[in-house]
Structure 1
């Protein structure tokens, strides 16, 4: 039975991740900025893990730290010219600051076979309008995960990330850019996180969980005439 810490556990993706690990018999502790109740977690904590104090408290609550899942994020929406200093800092702190603080607290306790899995986003490598702070935070998160994979691999700790596309109820027309013809579900992200947590010879990678979005050319795929001509 592994000790699993899920940060950002109150979101639909965080809850699905908790359920996936609990179904494997793991002991799962969830952390969020607000109080929540979910039977998948043996304990739920309300902490700001972007701070050293909050991160230390979250890690200190664990009997063993075998798996850490970084699923916390904030996504202010708007062009860079209307993004405030507070929104910028909030996005970076929620995603990148939390990841840094939790990893700094958890890594000294993680033994051979430990795993860190971050929930990134396709926005880390596919530009989209209106999410400059979120995209920058997720890109930084992936860079941090690669760095930790390199530095802590010799200790037997693996570090990976998943990059979801749009998850949950789509806005009108959102599914058009996805080769699978739909957006994703939280449990599909959770399945990928669970896989990476146990994939013993995989480290330093970012696994897209995006229904094929990242392989599709928007210039061609979104054109109705080309879709009608070439797709079955």
Structure 2
């Protein structure tokens, strides 16, 4: 067995690369920013809702002058479009679709999507598609470019057999048995399928979906006892 992965030494030099991470004010997104910033990227953008938390992340980061916060609500397409206009670089090498909500009560986004599907899938996908021309230009025109899309998903996607597209415009509060988790699972299945399809359509982009295992983020800390037990089964690392 090889040595354990050490990001401090195993992440390669990122000189020249521009990175965007959704949901970077806490949890996995924040940890990714703090680690990637150590490896000399040209710039890191990250989205979130909380400007105070964003300033704290930037202050804790290496090369903080090369990090930009994009205020963005992923459950609001108008907010996503506005955030995309504030992306100021001519290249984008890495897009990490990390932001999401998990196992929350039935609701709709501002644009009328079931809130977990609308945030975890539609929101991340909408921002990616707005910036996709820049990623493709990077892949096609920058010598030696290695453009990547990374979707943070969950093995919990296996809780559902598919996506009920006729129902994504409804709260889906008819899911009575573990409904909030099944709605989350549906959104995570959408993450997997989107990453797969992106890779099929644009072979010049390395597109992957990853399960981060069970991570002690703030969202998990706020779960009730039953939900924490469910997480202990190691199914919902990204939900």
Task: Report the TM-score, using the length of structure 1 for normalisation.
Answer: 0.65
Q: Are 1:157 and 2:215 counterparts?
A: no
CA distance in 1, matches of 2:23, 2:115: 14
Match of 1:138 in 2: 188
Q: How do 1:1-232 and structure 2 match up within 5 A?
A: 1-26=16-41, 27-35=43-51, 36=53, 37=55, 38-39=57-58, 40=61, 42-60=67-85, 61-63=87-89, 64-77=91-104, 83-84=106-107, 89-110=114-135, 111-112=138-139, 113-126=146-159, 129=178, 130-153=180-203, 156-168=204-216, 177=233
Contact 1:95 1:138 in 2 (8 A): yes
Q: Any stretches of 5+ residues in structure 1 without a counterpart?
A: 184-207, 211-232
Query: How many pairs are equivalent?
Result: 176
- 1:177 Cα deviation from its structure 2 partner: 4.6
- 1:161 Cα deviation from its structure 2 partner: 1.4
When residues 176 and 71 of structure 1 are mapped into structure 2, their CA distance, relative to the original with a 3 A threshold, is closer
When residues 126 and 88 of structure 1 are mapped into structure 2, their CA distance, relative to the original with a 3 A threshold, is same
SS in 2 for 1:149: helix
SS in 2 for 1:164: coil
Match of 1:203 in 2: none
CA RMSD of aligned residues (A): 3.0
- 1:33 Cα deviation from its structure 2 partner: 2.2
- 1:56 Cα deviation from its structure 2 partner: 3.6
When residues 93 and 174 of structure 1 are mapped into structure 2, their CA distance, relative to the original with a 3 A threshold, is closer
SS in 1 for 2:114: helix
CA distance in 2, matches of 1:34, 1:160: 28
Q: Any stretches of 5+ residues in structure 2 without a counterpart?
A: 1-15, 140-145, 161-176
